Amino acid sequence: MKKALFVILAAALWSCSASKETKQPPLAMDELAERYVKTLLQLGQYDADVVDAYYGPAEWKPSGPPSDTLPAAAMLAELRLIQRNLQTQPATALSDMEQRRLVMFQKQVRAAMTKIEMMQGKKLDFDTEAELLYDATPPHYPLAHFDSLLTAIDRQLPGKGSISERWAAYQAHFEIPKEKLDAVFQAAITEARNRTKAHYKLPANENFRVEYVTDKAWSGYNYFKGNGYSLIQINTDFPIYIERAIDLACHEGYPGHHVFNTLLEQHMVNEQGWKEYAIYPLFSPQSLIAEGSANYGIEVAFPAQERLVFEKRVLFPLAGLDPAEAARYYSILGLIGKLNFAGNEAARQYLNGTMSREEAAAFFVKYNFYPIDKALQRTRFVDKYRSYVINYNLGQELVRRYVEAHGGTDENPEKRWQVFGELLSQPNTATMLQ
């Protein structure tokens, strides 16, 4: 009887203690941000792609070499602690911006936990992985949709042979000679910078350097270094065509990645003091916004007709190309752009194991018109970055819809710049745009 009474009393005391524990206030957001950043920096020691950029306190970086094995259990425990504390934040007492911060932070933590589990060997299908890492559900398109686009392109392409063969022959007339690449790119960058700075107040010291590299899985990459500075690398493994000058100048530079990271640093880190934004984890919802805004930013800076006029007047002559076919070339490119989602389907089937590497490469050749060597390079990109591919096209569509829904239409370009700039300067994730 005494023993039973002791058990009851002990249980009551534990219940009271537990009740007091649950009533403890959650850890402050700044402490959670510091713990999150330190965990990601540690994780980055085991996969160099995890941390795309870091410009926070140097003392937060790991001080010694990593252990031989990934300390997954400890890192997951730390992220779960952060997650629990985020879930108990007093959201009703927060401003709109703080609520956005909280939602974004929770999504970023979930993505980090997913990445650790994947590094441990956890297998996820393409759609589930995309949802957990990037907070987005990739659309599915039947092959008939892509085949109808091929038919439309077939009607416009000159010459004889398969569509991919005719496109390769036609596109060859628009290749930028290697010795003229830098002059063309610098002209595109200068114009993109001028157009962006006419609408956004960027730090006086912001700048970037361009390098030309080879043997990469991507066509261009922005390495943001902090303090408004980026290193942009352009891969010259394959021919670079005239449209890539503005595409890369905008996507990697203005108003794309360079501006996005600069504004996040300026507004989130320096002004708000939100240190979780001092790190950019590549496999996270932030990437969908980053890649989507970088792609849509091309249209913001260079609406179609303005782009055509500028390229014919400036870039074509610099590249030594005849602008007579420019209008038809860009009309065909517009149709080809609608085939971008075909690449997602190839990646989905390849990663899900229902398509071999060779079949995926053949899919890229048929629907994206890649030469076979570039198609195989694309499969290597999918090997490395997996469902990340959705961030370019789905991200672009979500950003476009959001900007247009808030008044940033073709008929109101000033409003488009305004809404786009606000999107770049605030916490946003895919589900927050819908």
Half-sphere exposure of 26 (CA within 13 A, CB side): 17
Helices 96-119 and 285-301 pack at an angle, to 10 degrees, of 120
pTM over 0.75: yes
Helices 163-171 and 326-337 pack at an angle, to 10 degrees, of 140
Residue 234 near residue 203 (C-beta atoms within 8 A): no
Instruction: Give the model confidence (pLDDT) of 317-361 as tens digits.
Output: 999 999 999 999 999 999 999 999 999 999 999 999 999 999 999
> In whole angstroms, what is the distance from residue 67 CA to residue 45 CA?
9
User: Would you give the end-to-end CA distance of the chain in angstroms?
Assistant: 62
Instruction: Give the model confidence (pLDDT) of 276-301 as tens digits.
Output: 999 999 999 999 999 999 999 999 99
> In whole angstroms, what is the distance from residue 63 CA to residue 48 CA?
16
Q: Which residue has the tokens 């063969």?
A: 165
Tokens of 333: 């490119």
**What does the pLDDT read at residue 365?**
94
Q: How many CB atoms lie within 10 A of CB 260?
A: 23
> In whole angstroms, what is the distance from residue 415 CA to residue 7 CA?
68
**What does the pLDDT read at residue 3?**
42
> In whole angstroms, what is the distance from residue 355 CA to residue 359 CA?
6
Residues 6+ apart with CB under 8 A from 38: 60
Spacing of C-alpha 426 from chain mean position? 16
Q: How many CB atoms lie within 10 A of CB 83?
A: 18
**What does the pLDDT read at residue 64?**
87
> In whole angstroms, what is the distance from residue 260 CA to residue 371 CA?
32
Residues 6+ apart with CB under 8 A from 52: 223, 224, 280, 281, 282, 287
Name the strands in the sheet holding 220-226, side by side, starting at the edge strand that comes first in the sequence. 207-213, 229-235, 220-226
Half-sphere exposure of 252 (CA within 13 A, CB side): 29
**What does the pLDDT read at residue 15?**
45
> In whole angstroms, what is the distance from residue 109 CA to residue 429 CA?
13
Residue 409 near residue 416 (C-beta atoms within 8 A): yes
Q: In the chain, which stretches have pLDDT less than 50?
A: 1-22
**What does the pLDDT read at residue 23?**
63
b/e per residue 187-212 (b: at least 16 CB within 10 A): bbbebbbebbeebbebeeebebebee
Strand pairing category for 229-235 and 207-213: parallel
Number of H helices, E strands in the chain: 20, 5
